[in-house]
Structure 1
């Protein structure tokens, strides 16, 4: 049941204006489906028997710049970005789809029934008239919602022949809604999978990313493979099917990658993280060799080869440059936290310098997804908590004379002192005072103290400097202990 209050006023107002002018107006498609599923609609679409020019004549600000007659009704008063433009599309019927992508001819002004017949799936062929709450369901879409089933409107071969991207949309909706694909529809996808080659890579990419960003991307990618669609999107991933790993891994590379992806989705990680989880071991089939240190197989350099493969995949799918660069970087360095013997504080600092401090959290989280994907039950053992503590240690500014708002060069200019031990003693003496009271770390205070300290002999300065070094070590040790305590590794 749909309640009027669930529909934004901005949408209802547009429908009212159309009806008051003598036209029909219905909510249609995904928004009706989502309302019946108690999901918040992402888009609000209205359909009407008015032609584009008739729609535009009713509203002060509109635009229409597509082949399907969709009119954007602009609402400048709302603060909700989703409702700044309400889209209204005339009823339409469509002719042949000779290119498997778009209709050869579009006619406006036909009946609602004719419009609903051209829709892809029964759950998207639902219409609702706001004014009197009239619900139109010609193909038992509501029944399919109850059964959690995806089924095409009419003959699936015809629907997929009209627009081959609908096959990917079936998989995407299955992953997003956790619906099963009806048997005849599924058989048709498998039969017509090669029609996807007629679709632009941009449209394929967009649907694929929606699969990746769904709650069930593991199911979605597995379904793409099962139905013969994956070879048109990510053929490199298919090479990992049956590629055994041995060692700690309970699964072959393919299932490991899918489980790593699902782990990223379960944590609601970003698109970049999900793609990196799916691709981090993409080069294992190409780099697998028999034998290795206490292992059945080795995959030496798979992270380097994988980064190159990832870059090519991102380019082929025309991913945004920033996204592509980040995914490539995560794949390249995903092995950093895999060898506990190689993890030193200096190594962590070098990695931060390479990948950027802002990416270290993602690199750690990718390692967690990688571990979950092995089939090991424990997600964050002691070693991982230790890694996080080391990253925090490497991130923080060390307690040192570099904290001071002065340096040796400035002191030499101020005092005329030559380079030597005396400068070091002065700096450490100043550090000791600043550690006692951070408010002293100002140009005015430090310049004044330098003028006084320079008068002392070297032995006196040495004692003050040693005291500064001792306090520095104590402060550093205390800070590290606090980090270790917070990560439960101390």
Structure 2
């Protein structure tokens, strides 16, 4: 429940902070208006940490630069065309933007930049009412022309005006609605949801890079599931990640299996919980969360209804990894992220064979070797993938994974399992076998690596003996 008295007290503290005070005094001395705007005001009411300070003013970009230069250690004007000047004031980065009154052509999401003449007009063009509040400084006066405070109290996300106009101006705002719904744990106003559904096709004018950016921000929230459900409900996600709603497989009365869509959302939530437990101070792991959301997207394409009511999804891990690669490439994700996500999807089923029967040390070594740099993430994803309501089964799987992690730790201590290499490198293989560089060297290396994984440390002398025997048998 929003406590207004505490919220107003935090606003006063924000206005009195060194950075805000310094800027407020400088603009006031110059005869210009200045207001803290958007997220910092909203977060002060909610008692949330504010990471960025955004300001708006009636001053032109040239005047902003002139005013802030004496009180800042650095300035940048990369956003000058949009009226924004950046500066570092008392060690903090701030952005100050001239009042805006933009218009849109409906074909692209790039506005025709027009500067406005009032704070209220500037606020009315913003995305949501809770982001359309301002704190005038140094007077410390709250300006809320669109009912942002009321929406904070109701925990409601709503556009300042007609949502069809707002989303028609900038379709990316529809994805922001999903992100803020998750970030703030707010419900989206029904008219706003209806507009998102009606205008979802307009998202096609937004670049893949912008869509990817909003998807990443959504996945970085404490509970992205709320936003994902909204994207599925409105059909927006069909335009950039259709594999997720496709997980809602039709279930008939004869062939029973778990709801793959709900399972995937549960896995995502459990992944985030485990991520926080294991790495409480780390930033949100977006590649891991992507893998959790997408780990079963190969199931619809591999689903087979078996006689007697069974359902199979053979090789959905391999299929899903290929599908994820293609989709993430279309969204312009970087190669490292794509590699991590697809590798985790490929490997997410590997552990379940361990639960059926104890692995040899060789199998454990191969598990570590195949996961390589993604092993810790794979630990989290595999544990999160257990969503059974059968308590006994869940405990058995958890115990099995405890066991495999303990064995990995023991093998690491004994033989540096993370750096498993054959005793002989390529140069030594050429010397022992008297061969030149080529395909045979690679085959010999893989033979020795398999020996190392299967049997552990052999020693150089034994490795040479085994290599010669292998070469003789191969030549014969």
Give the TM-score, by structure 2 length: 0.77
State the shift of 1:265 in Å: 2.2
State the shift of 1:261 in Å: 0.8
CA distance in 2 between counterparts of 1:115 and 1:46 reads: 12
State the SS of the aligned residue for 1:261.
helix
CA spacing shift, 1:250–1:10, aligned 2, 3 Å: farther
1:301 aligns with 2:315: yes
State the SS of the aligned residue for 1:325.
helix
8 A Cα contact 1:243 1:254, kept in partner: no
Which is further off, 185-194 or 347-356? 347-356
Q: Choose the corresponding residue for 2:54, options 15, 37, 45.
A: 45
Q: Tell me which residue corresponds to 1:90.
A: 98
1:114 aligns with 2:127: no
Q: Choose the corresponding residue for 2:110, options 99, 102, 116.
A: 102
1:402-449 alpha-carbon deviations (Å, 9 max, x no partner): xxxxx9xxxxxxxxxxxxxxxxxxxxxxxxxxxxxxxxxxxxxxxxxx
Q: Choose the corresponding residue for 1:143, options 137, 145, 150.
A: 150
State the shift of 1:99 in Å: 2.4
Q: Tell me which residue corresponds to 2:340.
A: 326
8 A Cα contact 1:27 1:128, kept in partner: yes
CA distance in 1 between counterparts of 2:262 and 2:253 reads: 13
Give the superposed CA RMSD. Answer: 2.6
State the shift of 1:302 in Å: 1.2
Q: Choose the corresponding residue for 1:70, options 60, 84, 88.
A: 84
Q: Which protein shows a greater Rg? A: 1
Residue pairs, 1:451-490, within 5 angstroms: none
1:10 aligns with 2:26: no
8 A Cα contact 2:40 2:50, kept in partner: yes
Residue pairs, 1:208-357, within 5 angstroms: 208-244=215-251, 251-267=258-274, 268=276, 270-291=285-306, 296-340=310-354, 341=357, 343-356=359-372
1:392 aligns with 2:409: yes
Structure 2 residues not aligned, in runs of 5+: 1-7, 277-283, 417-423, 425-476
Q: Tell me which residue corresponds to 1:166.
A: 173
CA spacing shift, 1:56–1:111, aligned 2, 3 Å: same
State the shift of 1:321 in Å: 1.7
State the shift of 1:124 in Å: 0.7
Give the TM-score, by structure 1 length: 0.75
1:313-338 alpha-carbon deviations (Å, 9 max, x no partner): 22111112211111111111111111
CA distance in 1 between counterparts of 2:182 and 2:11 reads: 27
Residue pairs, 1:374-453, within 5 angstroms: 374-376=388-390, 378=394, 381-398=398-415
State the shift of 1:15 in Å: 2.5
State the SS of the aligned residue for 2:35.
strand
Corresponding pairs, count: 392
Structure 1 residues not aligned, in runs of 5+: 400-406, 408-490
Q: Tell me which residue corresponds to 2:438.
A: none
State the SS of the aligned residue for 2:101.
strand
